[in-house]
Amino acid sequence: MTTYKTEFQRSIEQPDAFWAEQARRIPWFTPPSTILEYDEQDHARWFVDGELNICHAALDHHVDNGRGEQPAVFWDSPVSGGKRTLSYREMRDEVARVAGALRGLGVEKGDRVVIYMPMVPEALMAMYACARLGAVHSVVFGGFAPHELAVRIDDAKPKVVMAASCGVEIDRVIPYKPILDEAVAQSEHQPDACMILQRERQTATLGTRDRDWAELVAEAEPADCVPVKGSDPLYVLYTSGTTGKPKGVVRDTGGYAVALHYSMETIYDVAPGDVFFSASDVGWVVGHSYIVYAPLLRGCTTVVYEGKPVKTPDAGAFWRLISEYRVKSFFTAPTAFRAIKKEDPDGKLLDQYDISCLQALFLAGERLDPPTFHWLDDLLDVPVIDHWWQTETGWPIAANLQGLEPMPTKAGSATVPVPGFDVRILDREGERAKPMEQGSVVIKQPLPPGCLTGIWGDPQRFHSAYMAAFPGYYLTGDGGYFDEDGYLFIMGRTDDVINVAGHRLSTGEMEEVVGAHPAVAECAVIGIHDALKGQVPVGLVIPKDGFEGDEAALEEELIDRVRRQIGPVACFKQVLVVNRLPKTRSGKILRKLLRNIADGKEYGVPSTIDDPASLEDVHEAMKERSVGASHEARPL
């Protein structure tokens, strides 16, 4: 670990010098003279006075330096039958025209643009076009419902919304335009215009506010890159918090570019010209960082995949893509491989492809569970690497650093903290935990470049959500421990955020939707273990006194409500009407206990419980309805 240890120590002891050096690796218009400073709340700000444009750094700079004819994007869409290769020059030129079209709609530096698009090259162009103008994009994942989109429109107040007419899932077309129309109808803020990409699979009827993407771009004057400050916002990405209101994570420009570039070398070990494939979606942080920005900042080719790990057409899809595009580094969520393993348990489909180009496989989004790790490790000849991060940090906090010093892997561990992240485990009192002792995983200030600089429109929330619990430390919301060798194990959230098929969701938000139903007196939504998706939500509902309706119909209605308000991505498919819920004497629902029962664990009955019989009732109800592994649960 010597190389790693030296680099890590330096990053913590001399953050200014360390990151100043890294900053020299990316092209600035004006290099920063101030590397690190602190704002009035003592939060780190990086490279505040440097000037750059990330679109220039990722596209124009490479075209100007001889990379113009190299593919920047391989787009592969088995669901729509499309394939397309775009060189750096083509991307730069197209992005410049899309930026010109946005400018024609009045978008200027600092304005927000909401992007609601599937995995098509135009989604990347839209993001880069915003960056080119210094506008702030906010991409919303296609699996969210109109209400969620409306909440984001109201919060970000975009001048323009960029959307596609439809997305394509495994077996059906999802019209995006009606979802957008409904969202705009629900939102108070009204964008000036919606720029609609008409896809062949299903075009949309355009209204008075809508503008046809192709027409606008054809008429547009290409726009040049607008210089922005290192600390100027590049994007806002909403993520689930513990309340119903999603948090708009604000990302700066300079720190992000420097951190992503560093990660491509140090963590992923890819060089300019290599092919990088991240099978995620532009709507998530993984997509922002490792489909859109990092690969192109590094001069790599990024694979943009509109498809699923299975059924498009089979569980060999990833192997096919790796082989066809000669992918060197591949990144996805463990849930995707659980889906593949279910369909092709012996990995037979791999025999059809030559994946000798692959150097390493990276997994994140949820903990790489040891069975999936072993399955992959046995199947492949390359390192299988779990690495841990979150929307807020924008890049990995812990990883096995392939470009610095590859280490032996340990099943269930994300290996070691990445240079820049001073990860600590604290107990309830805020004392540092000993090796093997589980506690709250925190990061000592300053957070390195690339991490969130605030919550959009709500500076206080940044402080209260992340900084207030342990002064001087950023609270990750995860629990975990270090082992005796300094390997970090992340064991799951300590709040009510759950992870469904690699998608981060809030049970608190689902409770708000369920609890708002007029027939519901009280409810709890818990995340229970699921063999495929990692976790899925289950609702437990007490109807109001005098409720005489049909319980099954109420359950259906609640499922439908969550689907309509949050979206299909919530995967909210099971609700149980119960008479009472186990609570403490002070009235707090014992959610952890409910989770343990649903997960089939032995559970203790706390002395603070108000009505022990309520527990038996709920356990019986869960068994009857086959909730999770509740039939295996036993009181201690």
Q: Which of residues 452-471 bind ligand COA (CB under 6 A)?
A: none
Residue from 308, 320, 591, 619 binding ligand COA (CB under 6 A) = 308
309 binds ligand COA (CB under 6 A): yes
333-362 residues in contact with ligand COA (CB under 6 A) are 333, 335-336, 339
Among ligand AMP, ligand COA, none, what binds residue 223 when CB lies within 5 to 8 Å by partner kind?
none
Q: Which is nearer to ligand COA, 174 or 621 (CB)?
A: 174
With binding defined as CB under 6 A, does residue 246 bind ligand COA?
A: no
Identify residue 310 by its one-letter amino acid code. V
Contact partner at residue 280 from ligand COA, ligand AMP, none, CB < 5 to 8 Å by partner kind: ligand COA
154-164: b or e for each residue (b if 16 or more CB lie within 10 Å)? ebbbbbbbbbb
State which residue, 167 or 527, has the beta carbon closest to ligand AMP: 527
Which part of the chain contacts ligand COA (CB under 6 A), choosing from 91-99, 259-267, 308-316, 449-457? 308-316
Nearest to ligand COA of 47, 388 (CB atom): 388
Is residue 511 a contact partner of residue 525, using CB atoms and an 8 Å limit? yes
| Residue closer to ligand AMP (CB basis): 137 or 504 | 504
CA angle 492, 422, 402 (to 5 degrees): 80
Measured over the CA atoms of residue 373, residue 476, residue 498 and residue 604, the dihedral's sign is: positive
Joined together, the tokens standing for residue 232 give 């100027």
354: left (phi over 0), alpha (psi -120 to 50) or beta: beta
Rg (CA), the chain: 24
Site residues for ligand AMP per CB under 6 A: 239, 285, 364-367, 386-391, 414, 476-478, 490, 493, 499, 504
Binding to ligand COA (CB under 6 A) within 313-332 occurs at: 332
Token pair recorded at residue 187? 């939102």
Amino acid at 56: H
Of residues 50 through 79, those in contact with ligand COA by CB under 6 A are none
Q: Which does 335 bind (CB under 5 to 8 A by kind): ligand COA, ligand AMP, none?
A: ligand COA
Paired with 84 in beta bridges are 75
What percent of the residues of the chain are helix, what percent strand, and what percent coil, each to the nearest 5?
Answer: 35, 25, 40
Q: Which is nearer to ligand COA, 503 or 595 (CB)?
A: 503
Give me the amino acid identity at 527. Answer: G
In the complex with ligand COA, which residue's Cβ is closer, 95 or 336?
A: 336
User: In whole angstroms, what is the distance from residue 396 CA to residue 50 CA?
Assistant: 24
Site map (CB under 6 A) of ligand COA, residues 257-286, x = contact = ----------------------xxx--x-x
In the bound state with ligand AMP, the residue whose beta carbon lies nearer, of 191 and 527, is 527
Residue 177 binds ligand COA (CB under 6 A): no
Q: Give the CA dihedral 130, 136, 140, 145, nearest 10 degrees.
A: -120
Among 111, 169, 478, 496, binds ligand COA (CB under 6 A): 169
Q: Across the chain, how many H-helices and E-strands are there?
A: 20, 34
Residue 308 binding: pick among ligand COA, ligand AMP, none (C-beta 5-8 Å cut-off by kind): ligand COA
DSSP for 482-532, please give it. E-TTS-EEEEEESSSEEEETTEEEEHHHHHHHHHTSTTEEEEEEEEEEETT
The number of C-alpha atoms within 13 Å of 106 and in the hemisphere containing its C-beta is: 8
Minimum separation from the CB atom of position 304 to ligand AMP (A)? 19
390 interface partner picked from ligand AMP, ligand COA, none, CB below 5 to 8 A per type: ligand AMP
Nearest to 566 by CA among 87, 124, 147, 258: 147
Minimum CB–partner distance for residue 527 and ligand AMP (Å): 11
x/- mask, ligand COA, residues 602-621, rule CB under 6 A, reads --------------------
Q: Round to the nearest angstrom and report the end-to-end CA distance of the chain.
A: 43
> Would you say 339 or 442 has its CB closer to ligand COA?
339
Backbone angles phi, psi at 600, to 5 degrees: 75, 20
37/271 Cα distance (integer angstroms): 31
- Contact residues for 348 (Cβ-Cβ < 8 A; gap 6+): none
Options 121, 230, 365, 439; binder of ligand COA; rule CB under 6 A: 365
Among the listed residues 555, 551, 559, the one whose alpha carbon sits nearest the alpha carbon of residue 513: 559
Nearer to ligand AMP (CB atom), residue 80 or residue 499: 499
Q: Which of 358, 498, 571, 615 binds ligand COA (CB under 6 A)?
A: 571
By C-beta, is 550 or 556 nearer to ligand COA? 556
Contact yes or no for 192/161 (Cβ under 8 A) = no
Residues 457-463: contacts with CB under 8 Å, at least 24 apart: 457/155, 457/248, 458/248, 459/41, 461/247, 462/41, 462/43, 463/41
- By CB under 6 A, residue 142 contacts ligand COA: yes
Q: Which of ligand COA, ligand AMP, none lies near 493, with the C-beta cut-off 5 to 8 A by kind?
A: ligand AMP
Pick 100 or 334: Cβ nearer ligand COA: 334
Other CB atoms within 10 A of residue 323 CB: 18
* Least distance to ligand AMP, CB of residue 537, Å: 15
Partner interacting with residue 239 (select from ligand COA, ligand AMP, none; CB below 5-8 Å by kind): ligand AMP
* Residue 526 binds to ligand COA (criterion: CB under 6 A): no
Per the CB < 8 A criterion, the answer to whether 162 and 139 are in contact is no
> Which of 143, 394, 543, 628 touches ligand COA by CB under 6 A?
143
Count of residues of this chain found to bind ligand COA when the rule CB under 6 A is applied? 27
β-pairing, 112-116 with 160-164?
Answer: parallel
- In Å, how far from its chain's centre is CA 497? 13
The minimum distance between CB 296 and ligand COA, in angstroms, equals 19
> Binders of ligand COA among 488-507, rule CB under 6 A?
501-503
Is-contact 327 303, C-beta < 8 A?
yes
Q: Which residues bind ligand COA (CB under 6 A)?
A: 118, 142-143, 167, 169, 174, 279-281, 284, 286, 308-310, 332-333, 335-336, 339, 364-365, 501-503, 568-569, 571
